[in-house]
Amino acid sequence: MLYIDLPTRAEIAKLIGFRGNPAVTLYLRTTPVTQDAQGDRIELRNLLKAAVAQVEAAGVAKRDVEGIRDRVEDLIGDDEFWAKQAHSLAVFAAPGFLRAFRLANRLSNAVEVSDRFLLAQLIRAVTFSHHAFLLPISIGSARLVEVLPDGPVDEVSVPGLPKGAADAAGRRSHALSQAEHQDGARSDQTVLYTRYARAVDAALRPTLAGQERPLIVVASEPMASIFRSVCSYPHLVAETISLSADETPNHELAAAARPLLDRLYAAEVASLRDLYETRKGQGRTTADIAQAARAATFGAIDTLLIDMDEDVPGFVDEETGAVTFDDKADAVNHDVTDEIARRAWATGARVVAARRADIPDGAALAAILRYAF
């Protein structure tokens, strides 16, 4: 089982707004297999040593160095925490501050020391994690299933979820009686199905509140269309999995969902590339890092695609957005592309951390602007 701690937008906003020297970011590839986690703990200690060496080289006060080391060492020594892992771990540490998120994505190990945290890989985990919910629903049953990129599939407990249309209608059976078949006002099964779908949607709201993961319906017709017509969850996927909600086991549903999620991501990236080409003709795009930094500083970016693996050391001026590039990363400068993503996110832009091959022109970033800049 994968244990996921996806940050909320409020938590990301707090990390974006953090300023303090030193700020240490550690990304670690992990295993969900508990008996193999000891190796991950050793590797995290190695990453910590590398970060501390950078902090000490920058002349940071000893008490601040110890404050970071002690907090991360406490995490490394937490047996209960390491018994429950996913595929990656993101750790953000500063004197008096520690946040750790277990992520489904398989991220690369990384160490960053600056006056702010490195967030591109965390944003990637939030913007498209291949982490979704399935709703297998039929006239006789409904359940919510959580699907991760790989690994076991979990059924989610949803208080008040109807056991079927009969339960939602307060009846013993969803079958219509002979009298109801003869009564046109009561014989329309669509009314019964719709009432049931609304009850399912209402039950799901508290569980899905604040979530941004896709919801995929598993159903046959007319149930699929009826639920879709009343669903209030904003991240409902347009494509339906047309398998038996009652007879298909959860692991087979998950196997059907994963290629759908791949298609969803590919379609999203393709749509952004098409939009980029359209806006390019209007003078509303840039793949230039320096121009993107200025645009992000003044809130001119509408959508930003960044290479999550790119590291461009330097500085971005707080007021003007002017970029100064450095030859190599150290404990003083920061990742310029990550800073652009941070500023774009803070001004309401959509930020998509992707692979270089997914970005227009194969650039380190591609920005679609709100206006010609």
Domain boundary among 127, 148, 166: 127
Number of domains in the chain: 3
Do 287 and 359 share a domain, yes or no? yes
Instruction: For the chain, state the CA radius of gyration.
Output: 24
Asked whether the bond before 22 is cis by omega within 30 degrees of 0, the reply is yes
Do 242 and 141 share a domain, yes or no? yes
Domain boundary among 127, 149, 174: 127
From residue 344, alpha-carbon distances to 269, 324, 367 in Å are 18, 18, 10
**pLDDT at residue 184 greater than cutoff 90:** no
> Does any domain span residue 168?
yes
pLDDT band at 182 (very low <50, low <70, confident <90, very high): very low
Do 200 and 245 share a domain, yes or no? yes
pLDDT band at 173 (very low <50, low <70, confident <90, very high): low
Do 255 and 145 share a domain, yes or no? yes
Domain boundary among 94, 127, 160: 127
- Tell me the whole-structure pTM to 2 decimals: 0.73
pLDDT at 220: 94
Per-residue pLDDT tens digits for 77-125:
999 999 989 889 999 999 999 999 998 778 889 999 999 999 988 887 7
Query: Distance between CA atoms of 63 and 95, rounded to whole angstroms?
Result: 8
Other CB atoms within 10 A of residue 236 CB: 16
Per-residue pLDDT tens digits for 187-207:
468 888 999 999 999 999 999
Mean pLDDT of 303-319: 90
> Does any domain span residue 246?
yes
Q: Is 325 helix (H, G, I), strand (E, B) or coil?
A: strand
pLDDT band at 185 (very low <50, low <70, confident <90, very high): very low
> Does any domain span residue 275?
no
Query: Distance between CA atoms of 141 and 208, rounded to whole angstroms?
Result: 19
Q: What residue type is assigned to position 4 of the chain?
A: I
Tokens of 167: 């339960």
Asked whether the bond before 149 is cis by omega within 30 degrees of 0, the reply is no
CATH number assigned to the domain comprising residue 257? 3.30.420
pLDDT at 153: 78
Do 154 and 108 share a domain, yes or no? no
Do 325 and 249 share a domain, yes or no? no
Q: Which residues, at least 6 apart from 207, have a Cβ–Cβ distance to it below 8 Å?
A: 144, 156, 158, 159
Most confident among 102-106, 128-132, 157-161, 171-175 (mean pLDDT): 157-161
CATH number assigned to the domain comprising residue 36? 3.30.960.10
pLDDT at 128: 64
Do 40 and 145 share a domain, yes or no? no
Q: What residue type is assigned to position 127 of the chain?
A: T
pLDDT at 149: 64
Query: Distance between CA atoms of 347 and 301, rounded to whole angstroms?
Result: 8
**pLDDT at residue 169 greater than cutoff 90:** no
Q: Is 365 helix (H, G, I), strand (E, B) or coil?
A: strand
Do 152 and 221 share a domain, yes or no? yes
Do 18 and 122 share a domain, yes or no? yes
Domain of 108 in residue numbering reads as: 9-127
